[in-house]
């Protein structure tokens, strides 16, 4: 009987939120840390008040590549996403930009649906991917609890945001992401990617070194070299998350 109980507990620990809690204890430890990937015991970031939702989109600066201005999906590969009220709505698979970027400043505004269902990672889940492989999480962290490295503005599976600055569903959230692409030579990564994230005016990730392309339940790592550039990708996780006003400023962060 004890064996069955321990086996049952092990199954519960591995499946997480389906049993009323969210997270995993059977995953790898993060380097130099005591926390597992998606550890439910890892402290959650404190909530802060980011103020009201912006009334208007933030204008793109000179030199920016405007990927989405609310009028068409011509800069994107997936025509299956809905275009509605100046926003594109996640649906029918991942969305990727036609243009590719290395070092860059990415501006994205996103909003959770007002009528939202589910809990934990099932609540308004999406993500913004740099080079199509490094994820900044999108989630309704205003109204749900989940593992710290899966919160909105987390570097998914690695680094929780310093604070939870998420606005309520229906309001617009703003990400400004400063990304230094990984450097590769001779078939391997010689310098890892680095990223800074500003969420609704709060610096929540400050020049964090990325362990590798984003993984779920696995420790991220670099396996072989990577291209110098890649697309901006938006995740479809079965939730009708809205996106608007997406632009990118190419940068040179070699120094």
For 82-111, write each residue's pLDDT tens digit: 999 999 999 989 999 999 999 999 999 999
DSSP E strands, the chain = 65-68, 82-84, 87-89, 95-101, 104-111, 126-130, 134-138, 173-180, 183-185, 188-191, 194-199, 202-209, 230-234, 242-250
Residues paired with residue 185 on neighbouring β-strands, in sequence order: 188
pLDDT for 89 equals 97
Q: Cβ atoms within 10 A of the Cβ of 12, count?
A: 14
* DSSP letters spanning 9-57: HHHHHHHGGGGT----SSSPBPTTSSPBTT-TTSPPPPB----SPPSSP
State residue 116's pLDDT score. 76
pLDDT score of 121: 87
Residue 188: the pLDDT is: 97
Read off the tokens for 141.
């962290």
Rounded Cα distance, 133 and 33, in Å = 23
Residues of the chain with confidence (pLDDT) below 50: 1-20
How many whole angstroms separate alpha carbon 220 and alpha carbon 134? 10
pLDDT for res 123:
82
Nearest alpha-carbon partner for 42 in 143, 139, 149: 149
pLDDT at 17: 38
- The pTM for the full model equals 0.90
pLDDT in the model for residue 38? 97
pLDDT at 6: 31
Q: Which residues contact 132 (CB under 8 A, 6 or more apart)?
A: 96, 230, 231, 232, 233
């Amino acid at each position: 009987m004890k064996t069955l109980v321990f086996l049952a507990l092990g199954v519960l620990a591995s499946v997480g939120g389906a049993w009323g809690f969210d997270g995993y204890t059977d995953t790898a430890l993060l380097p130099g840390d005591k926390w597992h990937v998606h550890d439910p015991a890892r402290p959650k970031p404190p909530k802060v008040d980011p103020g009201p939702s912006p009334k208007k989109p933030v204008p793109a600066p000179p030199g920016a590549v405007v990927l989405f201005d609310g009028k068409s999906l011509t800069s994107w590969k997936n025509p299956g996403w809905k275009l509605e009220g100046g926003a594109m709505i996640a649906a029918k698979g991942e969305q990727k930009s036609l243009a590719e970027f290395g070092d860059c400043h990415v501006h994205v505004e996103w909003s959770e649906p007002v009528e939202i269902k589910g809990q934990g990672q099932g609540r308004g889940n999406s993500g913004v991917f740099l080079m199509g492989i490094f994820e900044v999480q999108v989630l309704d962290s205003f109204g749900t609890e989940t593992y710290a490295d899966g919160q909105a503005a987390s570097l998914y599976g690695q680094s929780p945001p310093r604070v939870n600055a998420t606005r309520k569903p229906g309001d617009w959230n703003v990400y400004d992401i400063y990304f230094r692409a990984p450097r590769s030579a001779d078939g391997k990564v010689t310098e890892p990617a680095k990223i800074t994230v500003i969420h609704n005016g709060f610096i929540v990730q400050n020049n964090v070194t990325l362990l590798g392309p984003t993984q779920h339940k696995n420790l991220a790592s670099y396996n072989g070299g990577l291209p110098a550039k890649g697309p901006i990708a938006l995740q479809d996780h079965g939730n009708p998350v809205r996106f608007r006003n997406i632009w990118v400023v190419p940068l040179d962060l070699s120094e």
